[in-house]
Every structure is written in structure tokens, then in C-alpha cells.
Amino acid sequence: MTADDWDEADDEKWCAERRETVREYLARQPLKFGAIEDEPSWYVAPYVSVWAVESVAHPGDIGWWVICGDLPTDYALAKDAPTPREAVAAFAKRWQTLSGLMEQGKSHPDMTVGSPSNAAELAPLLKARAATLADWARDDSLWD
């Protein structure tokens, strides 16, 4: 399928699949979370989606952002990045740091992507995703 063939039905299917990925991912994480929004707060299909997840401590408020798509699925506290755009920038910065450590054969104290045995292979991929996210976070045309 090419970008020209992509339509609204493809968007809806892709978003529904990403929401399920987010649900499964969060179920494996050591955190308590509330409802996942029905639609992403921001997305560029079929590459990336950012999802608002309700706070358990403050029902009705966003507690977490989860990013998923053609990149690692990850979460961030909404208090550290109050908007989807700020969350995208935060993921970019985090992944830039992590990819640099991976390139050096070092580990991050709080997160991993893949296993240490394939860090050299994954580091450039993560670095490229981080650069793209950083570019998108700076691009006013992608944000309301």
C-alpha cells in the first residue's frame, strides 16, 4: 500500500491496532493507570501515535503519554510533558540519550530497548527515530 492508497478507514484501523498495543504495553508496566483515550492525541499514520492515559491519582486528568507505532513503545509522565508535542520532544531527547549509551556499549539505569546483545544493531535505529521525533516536535505545521 502506498501513501496515495491510504484512506480514513486505514487510519481508523491503524489507530485501533495502536490502541491495543498501548493497552497490552501498559498492562506489562509497573504503574497504575486509568482509561486510555479512544483516539490518539496526535499521530502520523502509519508511523507514530501519542496516546493520553488517565491518571489514577487524579481521575479525569492525563497522567501519562504513551508513544507507539513504527518505533519503540514508551511512556512518559504528563506532568513532565503537559502536551503531546512536549511528550514527542521528551521521547526524542530520552531516546537520543539512550541510543548514545547503546552505541558506547553502556546501559541506561532506567530503560532498555531490546537486549544488550543487539544494542549495536538497534542504537542507530533508535537514534534515527529520535531525530525524526525531534524534527516533528519542532515542525509547527504538524501541530494544531
Of residues 59 and 106, the one with the higher pLDDT is 59
Q: How far is CA 54 from CA 20, 31, 47, 78, 102, in A?
A: 16, 12, 23, 10, 32
To which residue does cell 511528550 refer?
87
* pLDDT digit string, tens, across residues 108-117: 657 656 666 6
**CA pair distance 78, 66, nearest whole angstrom:** 10
What was the pLDDT predicted at 103? 82
Which residues touch 32 (CB under 8 Å, ≥6 apart)?
A: 56
CB atoms under 10 Å from CB of 27, counted, come to: 8
What was the pLDDT predicted at 114? 61
CA angle, 65 then 134 then 10, to 5°: 60
Q: Could you tell me which of 10, 13, 33 has the C-alpha nearest to residue 23?
A: 33
* pLDDT digit string, tens, across residues 71-89: 999 999 999 999 999 999 9
**CA pair distance 143, 42, nearest whole angstrom:** 8
What was the pLDDT predicted at 48? 95
pTM of the shown model? 0.89
Q: Is the pLDDT of residue 129 over 80?
A: yes
Q: Could you tell me which of 16, 68, 67, 60 has the C-alpha nearest to residue 34?
A: 60
Identify the band that residue 127 occupies on the pLDDT scale cut at 50, 70 and 90. Answer: very high
Cell of 143: 501541530
Question: Which stretch of 4-13, 51-60, 103-112 has the lowest confidence by average pLDDT?
Answer: 103-112
